Structure 1
Amino acid sequence: MDTKIILSQSDLERLEALIERQSAGTAGLAALEAELSRAEIVDDDALPADVVAMGSRARFLDEATGQEYAYTLVYPHQADIAAGRISVLAPAGSALLGLSVGQSIAWPAPGGHAMQLKVLAVTHG
């Protein structure tokens, strides 16, 4: 089941440039390309406020455990999990990209199992 995702035109352009600069086989590249290929692209000023975009902070819930997480979606060179910044090339980063509040995703977790995550809130800024 593909969940509908939305991207701004400027995020799409920056992410396509990022993909072009990466070496073939770079971890996460195929997942990001797949996300971009299925996204609805909108003008920057038409991006809904509740959509996870580059630089936005998403708060989400593990529906199985009730545990909440919050991460800012960033480019690979800005990633720092300890500081709450997740790369768009990480499996969870590309999975969160373009989701809206209320949508759920299966997030690949360490150890090979998937967590069902629901987006609770998005802040831009």
Structure 2
Amino acid sequence: MSPDSPLVATAQPPLHVIDTEYDRIADLAMRVSASEPVLAQRLMDELDRADVHAAGDLPPGVVTLNAQVDFVDEGSGSRRSVRLVLPAEADVAAGKVSILTPVGAGLIGMSEGGAILWPDREGQPRTLRIVRVVPAQA
């Protein structure tokens, strides 16, 4: 990612991704690259720097697809609890956030206690800190 990209995080925490989710997310990013080029590139950049694990070898407390995630916007102090999902399952009113939203792309692969500087929908930087991750049901 270029340093002048609007989605650059100043400190990039380690990321962990399950191998099968890596493939699904990469395919999704490629499919939306024409309509959402910045977001698609950010997802690909995040995948490129992630440590890829088999599902059984993923460290505990990592945000995966279908995980329940509690996080705090450190700028506003607001706390949210969301489930990270694929676009077809997204339902903001039900707390299901698509990986193809700025916050969804920022959460994938993060670990409990980790924080990332991430833009909101208006492009304003926000520091999101992961408070708790409840793994997806098998």
TM-score, normalised to structure 1's length? 0.90
Distance 1:8 1:98 in 2: 9
Are the aligned partners of 1:31 and 1:91 in contact in 2 as well (CA < 8 Å)?
no
Q: 1:57 Cα shift?
A: 1.1
Structure 2 counterpart of 1:40: 51
Given candidates 61, 73, 82, the residue that maps to 1:71 is 82
CA distance in 2: counterparts of 1:24 and 1:114, whole angstroms: 22
What is the Cα-based RMSD across aligned positions, in Å? 1.5
Single out whichever of 110-119 and 2-11 deviates more from structure 2.
110-119
* Aligned with residue 108 of structure 1, among 92, 97, 119: 119
- Give 1:108 shift: 1.4
Is the counterpart of residue 4 in structure 1 residue 14 in structure 2? yes
**In 2: Cα distance, 1:6 partner to 1:14 partner:** 15
Q: Name the % identity.
A: 30
Structure 1 runs (4+) deviating above 6 angstroms are none
Taking a change above 3 Å as real, the CA distance of residues 15 and 55 of structure 1, as seen in their structure-2 partners, is: same
Aligned length: 124
Match of 2:33 among 24, 39, 42: 24
Match of 1:81 among 89, 92, 96: 92
Cα 1:17–1:23, aligned 2, differ >3 Å: closer, same or farther? Answer: closer
- In 1, distance between residues paired with 2:123 and 2:70? 23
Q: What is the aligned partner in structure 2 of residue 99 from structure 1? A: 110
More deviation in 26-35 or 69-78?
26-35
